């Protein structure tokens, strides 16, 4: 069953068509990926689903649990159980990591907050009392934000470039968090231009120049990174592998 359906979504800004007639279904309980080169329209698609300002003037329809959400505000969509983690993690200057996670957590016990931090590889004894401010590195902030999402257990989460700005060890933690969310029944949409992140998904969509050019099981989309498939003519598409002269 699909938890989210996009029906003929088109987004135009000025002269430019950023998303062109996108129709797709996000099946409940799976990890999906939206892949494509930089500038393909992936983040715009997430912004449209979330209903962010500047991304509300669209044509087409968005159904969440079979109900149209296009007229709903960001907050109303969040209350339905949709959440978005931005490429650049948010800053909530001043509040503690503990309060920040507890605020969005489904169960607000100390134990649940500690578990969420541990899932992201952040020692609760070291991090819970820290402030969410510039004393945390970008990678730490990102992990704190993802810990908050893990504790929230939303119905649908959109993770925009979840590996950006974090080190390899943190990437492994983030992958574990994605699988933990799936086990708890959250539907996950990973937005990425990385093959490693794509491999975390069950199913994927390939965007090029604002259009959906291919969809299917992850294995069907992976060859995109070796440029061994389909007509993605975006200028930022992966570089063609050089063929040795005979």
Ligand X SMILES: Nc1ncnc2c1ncn2[C@@H]1O[C@H](COP(=O)(O)OP(=O)(O)O)[C@@H](O)[C@H]1O
Site track 111-130 with ligand X (rule: CB under 6 A), x = hit: --------------------
| Distance of alpha carbon 109 from alpha carbon 245, whole angstroms | 64
Q: Is 41 an interacting residue with respect to ligand X (CB under 6 A)? A: yes
Q: Is 234 an interacting residue with respect to ligand X (CB under 6 A)? A: no
DSSP state letter for 194: -
Among the residues of 5-131, which ranges form H helices?
42-50, 74-80, 97-104, 110-119, 124-127
- Residue 241 binding result from Mg ion, ligand X, none, given CB thresholds of 5 to 8 Å by partner type: none
Q: Which helix (H) or strand (E) holds 135?
A: none
Q: Select from 78, 43, 40, 77 the least CA-distant residue to 62.
A: 77
Taking the complex as a whole, the smallest distance from the CB of residue 18 to ligand X amounts, in Å, to 4
- The CA-atom distances, in angstroms, between 80 and each of 34, 136, 175 are 22, 31, 25
Taking the complex as a whole, the smallest distance from the CB of residue 218 to ligand X amounts, in Å, to 18
| Positive or negative torsion for Cα 16, 40, 3, 114 | negative
Q: Is 209 an interacting residue with respect to Mg ion (CB under 5 A)? A: no
Q: Which stretch binds ligand X (CB under 6 A): 13-21, 24-32, 62-70, 172-180?
A: 13-21
DSSP state letter for 91: -
Tokens of 198: 């794509």
Say whether 136 sits in a helix, a strand or coil.
Answer: coil
Q: Which stretch binds ligand X (CB under 6 A): 39-47, 94-102, 103-111, 166-174?
A: 39-47
Question: Contact 148/92 with Cβ under 8 angstroms?
Answer: no
Taking the complex as a whole, the smallest distance from the CB of residue 131 to Mg ion amounts, in Å, to 28
Taking the complex as a whole, the smallest distance from the CB of residue 28 to ligand X amounts, in Å, to 24
Tokens of 6: 């996009």
Q: Is 43 an interacting residue with respect to ligand X (CB under 6 A)? A: yes
Q: Is 187 an interacting residue with respect to ligand X (CB under 6 A)? A: no
Tell me, by CB under 5 A, how many residues bind Mg ion. 2
Q: Indicate the residue among 43 and 209 with the shorter CB distance to Mg ion.
A: 43
Considering only residues 3, 4, 18, 35, which one is a binding residue for ligand X as defined by CB under 6 A? Answer: 18
Q: Is 43 an interacting residue with respect to Mg ion (CB under 5 A)? A: yes
For ligand X, the binding residues (CB under 6 A) are 13, 16, 18, 36, 38-44, 54
């Amino acid at each position: 069953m699909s938890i989210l359906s996009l029906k003929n979504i088109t987004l135009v800004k000025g002269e430019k068509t950023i998303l062109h007639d996108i129709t797709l279904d996000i099946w409940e309980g799976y990890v999906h990926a939206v892949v494509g080169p930089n500038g393909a329209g992936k983040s715009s698609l997430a912004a449209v689903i979330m209903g962010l300002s500047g991304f509300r003037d669209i044509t087409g329809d968005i159904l969440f649990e079979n109900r149209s959400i296009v007229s709903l505000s960001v907050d109303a969509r969040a209350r339905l159980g949709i959440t978005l983690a931005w490429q650049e993690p948010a800053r909530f200057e001043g509040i503690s990591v503990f309060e920040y996670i507890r605020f969005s957590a489904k169960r607000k016990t100390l134990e649940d907050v500690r578990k969420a931090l541990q899932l992201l590889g952040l020692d609760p004894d070291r991090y819970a009392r820290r402030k969410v401010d510039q004393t945390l590195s970008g990678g730490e902030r990102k992990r704190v934000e993802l810990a908050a999402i893990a504790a929230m257990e939303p119905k649908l989460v959109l993770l925009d470039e979840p590996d950006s700005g974090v080190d390899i060890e943190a990437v492994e933690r983030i992958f574990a968090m994605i699988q933990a969310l799936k086990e708890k029944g959250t539907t996950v949409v990973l937005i990425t231009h990385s093959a490693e992140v794509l491999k975390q998904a069950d199913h994927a969509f390939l965007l090029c120049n604002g259009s959906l050019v291919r969809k299917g099981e992850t294995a069907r989309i992976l060859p995109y990174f070796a440029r061994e498939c389909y007509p993605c003519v975006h200028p930022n598409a992966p570089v063609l592998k050089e063929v040795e002269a005979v």
